[in-house]
Amino acid sequence: MRLAVFDTHRYDRDALEKANAGFGHALTFFEPRLTLQTARLADGFPAVCSFVNDRVDAATLEVLHAGGVRLVAARSAGYNHVDLETARRLGIRVTRVPEYSPHAVAEHAVALVLSLVRHIPRAFSRVRDWNFSLDGLVGFDLAGKTVGVVGTGRIGRVAARIFRGFGCRVLCYDVAPDAGFERETGVRFVPLEELFSASDIISLHVPLTPSTRHMVDGAALARMKKGVVLVNTGRGALINSRALLAALKTGHIGGAGLDVYEEEEGIFFQDLSGQVLQDDTLARLLTFPNVLVTSHQAFLTHEALANIAETTLASVTAFERGEPLVNEVRAEQVIRAPPASR
């Protein structure tokens, strides 16, 4: 099947071409993101492959549908960039990659924590200037600290196990607490308010839904311990960035590790080094020595890229053959969890 692949970089192409040896689809790669302005590039293609920061809204879907597209295969776990209601109305099927490498994202979250609590970025910058002083680099042990893991899907569970391996006390929050996971690992499921107030480190691993948007707002940040380290490898809009900025300015938040940002569209995955960053909130966040931002790279391992490519192309094959789409996302199937910030 002819597949138009948008928002591609070299690592995407390499992984998809390698995986496609076992599928035989006709892949056409486009560097631009899939938006209303670029949707006509897919004219004549029965399927398109989108990425997490594409904008597959109602207007874009109308153009895609008019051009013959009947499948949107998102090579991401997140799907909030696709207007599922419009896709349903137009008869366009939507698939995603619900699971690729939970270890990739969980390990990146822990790497952000370690980098922050041991001041690794600051130490790295200092020694490159021949400054070998240790002043200002005092960190703290993870062993014995309380870590709050918000969301215990596959990624959250791996993160919880890793933190337990460091000797941490792990509190978990999920809309569906799992007593078996508690018994197996020694973690404890608690209400979100208790997790926020009791944790020294908090790591977010929930999807973005209407009820989880800004689950970390000003009120939630105020409940947290002074000096808490907050890490987000989930979705950017889980955190109200302006509220986080305010909490950092007062010193209430000890550190923030962000692999995602709520206004990252058009910024992350791009080389803007020759431009002036127009997002004032992100620019201000980047000035804090206790803030570490990575550009949505938590998924970026060889293993995860291979799994993403394999799963995406398998969905395209199933669609071509008229087989059930095991990774399909439908508007009526989207589960909206109860509000998590109350």
For 181-233, the pLDDT digits (tens) are 999 999 999 999 999 999 999 999 999 999 999 999 999 999 999 999 999 99
Provide the residue ranges of all domains of the chain, joining segments of one domain with +.
Answer: 2-100+302-336, 102-293
- The token pair at 221 is 């940040």
Superfamily of domain 102-293: NAD(P)-binding Rossmann-like Domain (3.40.50.720)
* Model confidence, pTM: 0.89
pLDDT digits (tens, 9 = 90+) for 49-106: 999 989 999 999 999 999 999 999 999 988 989 999 999 999 999 999 988 889 999 9
Q: Are 256 and 121 in contact (CB under 8 A)?
A: no
In this chain, the answer to whether the domains covering 2-100+302-336 and 102-293 adopt an identical fold is yes
* Spatial strand order in the sheet of 2-5: 26-29, 2-5, 47-50, 71-74, 93-95
The rounded distance, in Å, linking the Cα atoms of 322 and 342 is: 44
CB neighbour list of residue 283: distance below 8 Å, 6 or more residues apart: 277
Res 126 pLDDT > 60: yes
Q: Provide CATH code, domain 2-100+302-336.
A: 3.40.50.720
Catalytic positions are 235, 264, 296
Instruction: State mean pLDDT over 232-247.
Output: 97
Res 35 pLDDT > 80: yes
What pLDDT was estimated at residue 78? Answer: 83
Location of structure tokens 């822990």: 110
Residue that wins the pLDDT comparison between 159 and 78: 159
What pLDDT was estimated at residue 301? Answer: 97
Out of 65-74, 211-220, 248-257, 272-281, pick the least confident.
272-281
Q: Are 196 and 321 in contact (CB under 8 A)?
A: no
- Band of residue 331 on the pLDDT scale cut at 50, 70, 90: confident
